[in-house]
Amino acid sequence: MPQRTFSIVKPDAVRKGYTGAILAEIDKAGFRIVAVRKQSISKPQAEGFYYVHKERPFFNDLCTFMSSGPLVLLVLEKDNAIADLRGLMGATNPANAEEGTIRKKFAGSIQENAIHGSDGEDTAAFEIGYWFAGYELL
């Protein structure tokens, strides 16, 4: 049974016109797109999504950024999807991201870093359920 993970093409990347190129990288890496939806989110919706970071100093800026324009919500599937997507994304700070990673190619800063990916099985389950209903995940 392949593993599922949750991803977001963040508002900076959508604004810069990188959505198609990032989806192509995801496709080339062998992920099946189970669900995809482009939408804008409210600041409270961003705060709920990132609640694990609520004590971090950048929480308010992060939630303002995530609600600053349309983004693309994704559920992705493949063997080892969670770790493989993290590898494809690269380090949080694009200055430290490895060559060939999505953040190296498309991210502008540690905050506006182009893509989100779940960091574990529990967070993937929470994040998929936060944005998608079961009937959208067939």
Q: Please say if 53 is a catalytic residue.
A: no
Q: For ligand GDP, give the closer residue by CB, 61 or 136.
A: 61
Which entry of 12, 85, 116, 124 is annotated as an active-site residue?
116
The closest of 7, 11, 27 to 113, measured between CA atoms, is: 11
Rounded to whole angstroms, how far apart are CA atoms 116 and 118?
7
Using CA atoms, how far apart are residues 22 and 67, in angstroms rounded to an integer? 20
Which of 1-9, 26-34, 56-64, 75-83 is the region at the interface with ligand GDP (rule: CB under 6 A)? 56-64
Contacts of 66 (CB under 8 A, 6+ apart): 10, 11, 41, 46, 49, 50
**Residue from 39, 92, 96, 129 in contact with ligand GDP (CB under 6 A):** 92
With respect to ligand GDP, which residue has the nearer C-beta, 116 or 134? 116
In angstroms, what CA-CA distances link 89 with 79, 81, 109? 17, 12, 14
- Is residue 119 involved in binding ligand GDP (CB under 6 A)? yes
Which 4-43 residues touch ligand GDP, going by CB under 6 A? Answer: none
Q: Which is nearer to ligand GDP, 62 or 124 (CB)?
A: 62
Report how far residue 61's alpha carbon sits from residue 129's, in angstroms, rounded to the nearest whole number. Answer: 24
- Terminal-to-terminal C-alpha distance of the chain: 14
Among 76, 113, 128, 132, binds ligand GDP (CB under 6 A): 113
* Sites of contact with ligand GDP (CB under 6 A): 58, 61-62, 92, 110-111, 113, 116, 119
Catalytic residues: 116
